[in-house]
Chains A and B, each alone.
Chain A
Amino acid sequence: MTAGTLTSVTAERLGDASPQLLAPGGTQWAKVSETTVSLAPTPLDAQPSAYVQTSWAGRPYGALASVGLSAVVAGDALYLRLRWAAAEPRQAISDNDTYADACAVLFPLDGKTAELATMGDERSPVQGWHWRAGTALPFVITATGLGTVSRVPDHPVSVGAAWENGSWSVAFKRGLGEQGVPLTAGASVPLGIAVWSGANSERAGLKAHTPAWLTLTLPK
């Protein structure tokens, strides 16, 4: 694991023709470097609900300080793995008042520019890959502002997740040429990360996130 916070990550190319990278704890990932990315709570006054602002005033959330990020291009697909400490994992929604752990990666929809703090706007939407514990398929979401997230019905993103030794590892996969955010060999794309702690009832905008875009560069 690299010490300190980097704002730029370059995906490594993995020659293996049969990548098993959706097994996020698998041996192939052990060969891939991991970058520590700092997270911070989203601002409470930006939550688009007076109820949420009032009921979470003085109540900590988004306390996860960092997440490990690894990026690989194998075959013609990008794999992103997030790894973070979760001493009390919430692997599913088990009751009215329980929430599952979750994470997401976010990009400007055009792969170039969008406002991260507002989750995009009408002119420059964002797109995300969202995983929630207990679900086999990820959600692909687009947004044009806070509170506007909508799910894309059919999408090419897949996910694998495992909780082991007090940490979640979640790997997303998307083919480079497939529908969605442009992912081009040799090019860079802004990347945001968010993590929700189910044990702390975190959901919606209540999360730990990267306050600014990182830059993800894909190998040639």
Chain B
Amino acid sequence: MATVSSRPARQLAMVFDLNKCLGCQSCSIACKTLWTDAPGMESMWWNIVNTMPGGGTPRDVFSHGGGYKNGEPVPGTFPPLREFGEAWGFDQEATFASGGKAAFRPLERDGSSPEWGPNWDEDMGGGQYPNSYFFYLQQICANCSKPACLEACPRTGLYRREEDGIILIDEERCHGYRFCAEACPYKRIYFNPGRVVAQKCIACYPRLEAGVAPACVRQCPGRVRHVDYMDNLEGHPYKLVHEWKVALPLRPDFGTEPNVFYVPPLAPPAFNEAGEFDETKPRIPDEYLREMFGPGVERALETIQVEREKSARGEPSELIDILIARDWNDLLGPFTANPAELDRPPRGG
């Protein structure tokens, strides 16, 4: 039986700072152009950024089962392509021939109008004006320490790299059974119908091997993404997760021990009826944040708040320095090589 009991020698980890994300999808496009531009991959977004609270990718992303409860695997489903969002077509001809009168609309493969897609409910968020709120959530394979995907596969179609804990699908072994996609609670596995194989984020391992940071990390204009090995005690992931405890796993109740961590969103307090801040009422409901990031979220937000205030007073704060990342290269851990300067640059920039 495919179980993963021992830990890899080293574990790659990432931290995404939800307070800095612009929702620009540069990360998504960087990944798309680098890895998923081949036939059969049209609708794949190994990295996608969604407005939260919201439906996510696929629709109602966290309600399809998978992961573990009390150590036992939880049955899951793999939603149909429409629920992820197809690669839409556009009827340019019809719009052109109508002199622009026919609306230029996206179309599904069967000619119908789409009802869902990546970041479909962009910027809708939750709450009522004036206490509405939202944040952007980057969805990516978290190279979990207890990878439900890998453990679900009856034929060892996935494996974990000893040198960095990255979970990969062996496309020679994969027979397209898709138990992995059902079992991943984050729904980060896609299906290539032409090749009948499952495909997912590969953490840009060929770039890492050349000392280059993953494309989504390197292309992020918001300086949201930190990457390093977790055993580097000076690295940002270790500092943010274990020392400052401000970076948290997403939906830790799924039990897969993800290695992507999130700095939770710090929102201003809610307005009261007089239109003034009510310091006792959070804008983003605590229960929602606890559900998303676990019980450590209040403490994490408190820490960020305290350190921000210190920084605002002109006092030094290691935490705020890390999160600001004044020197861009500090985000990249040991992966600071510039792909443009390599002898044989990996694909893409």
CB-CB under 8 A from B2, the residues of chain A are 48-49, 147
Chain B, residues 53-82, CB within 8 Å of chain A (1/0): the string is 000000000000000000011111111110
Interface of A (DSSP majority class): loop
A96 vs B40: C-alpha distance when bound (angstroms): 12
The answer to whether A96 touches B79 (Cβ under 8 A) is yes
Given A93-B176, A96-B181, A96-B191, answer yes or no on A52-B154 (Cβ-Cβ < 8 Å).
Answer: yes
Given A48-B2, A96-B178, A96-B191, answer yes or no on A204-B80 (Cβ-Cβ < 8 Å).
Answer: no
CB-CB under 8 A from B178, the residues of chain A are 96-97, 203
A55 vs B177: C-alpha distance when bound (angstroms): 14
Q: State the total of A-B contacts with C-beta under 8 angstroms.
A: 75
CB-CB under 8 A from A203, the residues of chain B are 175, 177-178
- Closest residue of chain B to A95 (Cβ to Cβ) is B80
The answer to whether A49 touches B153 (Cβ under 8 A) is yes
Number of interface residues of B (CB under 8 A): 33
The answer to whether B155 touches A48 (Cβ under 8 A) is yes
- Closest residue of chain A to B43 (Cβ to Cβ) is A96
A146 vs B281: C-alpha distance when bound (angstroms): 57
Residue of A94, A96, A97, A147 most packed against chain B (CB within 10 A): A96
A54 vs B1: C-alpha distance when bound (angstroms): 13
- Closest residue of chain A to B181 (Cβ to Cβ) is A96
Given A96-B178, A147-B155, A204-B179, answer yes or no on A48-B75 (Cβ-Cβ < 8 Å).
Answer: no
Cβ of A184 under 8 Å from chain B? no
- Closest residue of chain A to B84 (Cβ to Cβ) is A96
Interface of B (DSSP majority class): loop
CB-CB under 8 A from A149, the residues of chain B are 155, 175
A213 vs B178: C-alpha distance when bound (angstroms): 29
Given A47-B154, A48-B155, A51-B183, answer yes or no on A204-B1 (Cβ-Cβ < 8 Å).
Answer: no
CB-CB under 8 A from B181, the residues of chain A are 96
Cβ of A50 under 8 Å from chain B? yes
Cβ of B317 under 8 Å from chain A? no
A146 vs B156: C-alpha distance when bound (angstroms): 11
A48 vs B177: C-alpha distance when bound (angstroms): 13
Shortest A128–chain B CB gap in Å is 13
Number of interface residues of A (CB under 8 A): 21
- Closest residue of chain B to A56 (Cβ to Cβ) is B75
The answer to whether A204 touches B73 (Cβ under 8 A) is no
Cβ of B151 under 8 Å from chain A? yes
CB-CB under 8 A from A50, the residues of chain B are 1, 3, 72-73, 151
Chain A, residues 92-121, CB within 8 Å of chain B (1/0): the string is 011111000000000000000000000000
Cβ of B196 under 8 Å from chain A? yes
Cβ of A125 under 8 Å from chain B? no
The answer to whether B152 touches A204 (Cβ under 8 A) is no
A100 vs B113: C-alpha distance when bound (angstroms): 27
Given A49-B2, A97-B80, A204-B154, answer yes or no on A54-B177 (Cβ-Cβ < 8 Å).
Answer: no
Shortest A103–chain B CB gap in Å is 15
Cβ of A148 under 8 Å from chain B? yes
- Closest residue of chain A to B152 (Cβ to Cβ) is A51
Interface residues of B in 156-187 (CB under 8 A from A): 156, 173, 175-179, 181-183
- Closest residue of chain A to B149 (Cβ to Cβ) is A51
CB-CB under 8 A from A198, the residues of chain B are none
A149 vs B176: C-alpha distance when bound (angstroms): 13
A131 vs B178: C-alpha distance when bound (angstroms): 18
Residue of A51, A94, A96 near B148 (CB, 8 A) is: A51
The answer to whether B76 touches A55 (Cβ under 8 A) is yes
Cβ of B89 under 8 Å from chain A? no
Given A51-B151, A149-B155, A204-B177, answer yes or no on A95-B73 (Cβ-Cβ < 8 Å).
Answer: no
Interface residues of A in 192-219 (CB under 8 A from B): 203-205
**Can you list 20 A-B pairs, Cβ within 8 angstroms, ordered by A?**
A48-B2, A48-B154, A48-B155, A49-B151, A49-B152, A49-B179, A50-B151, A51-B179, A55-B179, A55-B182, A95-B80, A96-B79, A97-B77, A97-B178, A146-B154, A147-B155, A147-B156, A149-B175, A150-B173, A203-B178
Interface residues, chain A, CB within 8 Å of chain B?
47-52, 54-55, 93-97, 146-150, 203-205
Interface residues, chain B, CB within 8 Å of chain A?
1-3, 72-81, 84, 148, 151-156, 173, 175-179, 181-183, 191, 193, 196
Given contacts A51-B73, A150-B173, A205-B154, 12 further A-B contacts (CB under 8 A): A48-B154, A49-B179, A51-B151, A51-B179, A54-B74, A55-B182, A95-B81, A96-B79, A96-B191, A147-B156, A204-B177, A204-B179
